[in-house]
Amino acid sequence: MEPAIIVHGGAVKFSGEKVGRALEGTKNAASRGYRILIQGRSAIDAVQAAICELENDPTFDAGTGSPLTSEGDIEMDAVIMDGRTLESGAVAAVKNVKNPIVLARMVMENTPHCLLVGQGANQFADEEGVPRISKEKLITEENRNKLLEFKSSYGKAVMNDFSTRDHDTVGAVAIDKDGNIAFGTSTGGITNKRPGRVGDSPLAGIGGYADNKVGGISCTGHGESITRVALAYDIISKMKYANMTIQAAADEALSEMSEKLANAENNFSAGVIGIGKDGVPVYSFKTEQMAWAWARNGKLHNGVNPGDDDVYSVEIDSDSTLIKDD
Ligand code: ASP
């Protein structure tokens, strides 16, 4: 099987200068994961490495750069899933951890559980020797200001209005040379969320899914809306039971989501990335923009707007060189 990886940096309208950072960040993450795949390593390793790269990049809403809760805290959610065994591991509302995706993988590999939350997730992190990081190191000035602006413009009256918020969560789906598919998603959630609020992201079947026999998906967008339609498994079901291609299934599921939630109080669109068992990466989004990058056959594709497609050649012998094609 030709290895491939696709990553996203959230379904969102990026503000001006953030577009360049989002392109750069997704490109670096896809390149990092792809190099792991072409060394012959597993889809799970590639997904974890790509997501760590995105969590460490303050441009995105995951790890460093997570948005603040209404109390000014950082609570993060992450999931990873192995499509070979259908095993998954996740953490939710976890604090003071640099890379929640690494902890999610520890849940998958070192516990009999699928999801650990809050204090229990942090207790597990301590037991596994995961170093604690102060919340100040995870908070960016931009996100501190965003919470202040949010509170001064909207106050408590419209606590349910999510329309002005970023949705720059991160995710990755990979297929390795053995045809094994994995997915991961990681997020700090949404600005001014209630303490303890968990969206779609850490829920296997909702914010993503991976099954070698069908494909892998990672979602981004308004978590409560994605949860209402069980977006990831809706796409998997269309492929599994209606024999749809992953592109057709993703497009249709997103359109149906917009129709079904047209009258809902918080009708917000979403975006998805995926790889079917044929190994071809796809993406689809209903928001104005979604940052994405995918790599296969020595080429890396990158974009933010509908119709974008910057193409690079991956220098296999180098750790990081990407040469832009004309
Ligand atoms: N889905 C995430 C959440 O609601 C947000 C995002 O995708 O950016 O927590």
Query: Are 170 and 64 a contacting pair, CB within 8 Å?
Result: no
pLDDT mean across residues, the chain: 93
221 CB within 6 A, ligand 1: yes
Q: Give which of 322, 294, 298, 296 is closest to 308, Cα–Cα.
A: 294
From ligand 1's centre to the CA of 38, what distance in Å? 30
Tokens 């047209």, located at residue = 262
From ligand 1's centre to the CA of 7, what distance in Å? 15
Confidence at residue 154, expressed as pLDDT on a 0 to 100 scale: 65
Q: What is the pLDDT of residues 164-212, one digit of tens each?
A: 456 789 999 999 999 999 999 999 999 999 999 999 999 999 999 999 9
Q: Which atom of ligand 1 is nearest to the CA of 198?
A: 9
Q: Tell me the mean pLDDT in the region 130-134.
A: 95
Question: Which domain, by its residues, includes 194?
Answer: 4-324
Instruction: Kindly indicate the confidence band of residue 155, based on its pLDDT and cuts at 50, 70 and 90.
Output: low
From ligand 1's centre to the CA of 298, what distance in Å? 31
Q: What is the pLDDT of residues 279-305, one digit of tens each?
A: 999 999 998 899 999 999 999 999 999
CA atoms within 13 A on the CB side of 229: 29
The yes-or-no verdict on residue 158 having pLDDT over 60 is: no
| CA–CA distance, 312 with 309 (Å, rounded to integer) | 10
CA 111 to chain centre: 23
53 CB within 6 A, ligand 1: no
Measured at the CA of 183, the angle between CA 239 and CA 233, to 5 degrees, comes to 35
Q: What is the pLDDT of residues 85-117, one digit of tens each?
A: 999 999 999 999 999 999 999 999 999 999 999
Strands 76-82 and 87-94: antiparallel
| CA–CA distance, 99 with 314 (Å, rounded to integer) | 26
Instruction: Kindly indicate the confidence band of residue 17, based on its pLDDT and cuts at 50, 70 and 90.
Output: confident
Specify the range with the lowest mean pLDDT, choosing from 134-138, 154-158, 216-220: 154-158
From ligand 1's centre to the CA of 225, what distance in Å? 10
Phi, psi of 144 (to 5 degrees): -60, -45
The yes-or-no verdict on residue 157 having pLDDT over 70 is: no
Helix 43-56 / helix 100-110 crossing angle, nearest 10 deg: 150
How many domains in the chain?
Answer: 1
Residue nearest to atom 4 of ligand 1 (CA): 223
Tokens 């969206």, located at residue = 199
Q: Which atom of ligand 1 is nearest to the CA of 168?
A: 8
| CA–CA distance, 294 with 325 (Å, rounded to integer) | 15
Confidence at residue 318, expressed as pLDDT on a 0 to 100 scale: 74
We report the CATH number of the domain holding residue 317 as 3.60.20.30
Q: Tell me the mean pLDDT in the region 230-249.
A: 98
115-118 long-range contacts, CB within 8 A, separation 24+: 115/79, 115/89, 115/90, 115/91, 115/202, 115/203, 116/90, 116/91, 116/92, 117/91, 117/92, 117/93, 117/198, 118/75, 118/92, 118/93, 118/94, 118/196
Residue nearest to atom 9 of ligand 1 (CA): 189
What amino acid positions are annotated as catalytic residues? 169
| CA–CA distance, 23 with 292 (Å, rounded to integer) | 7
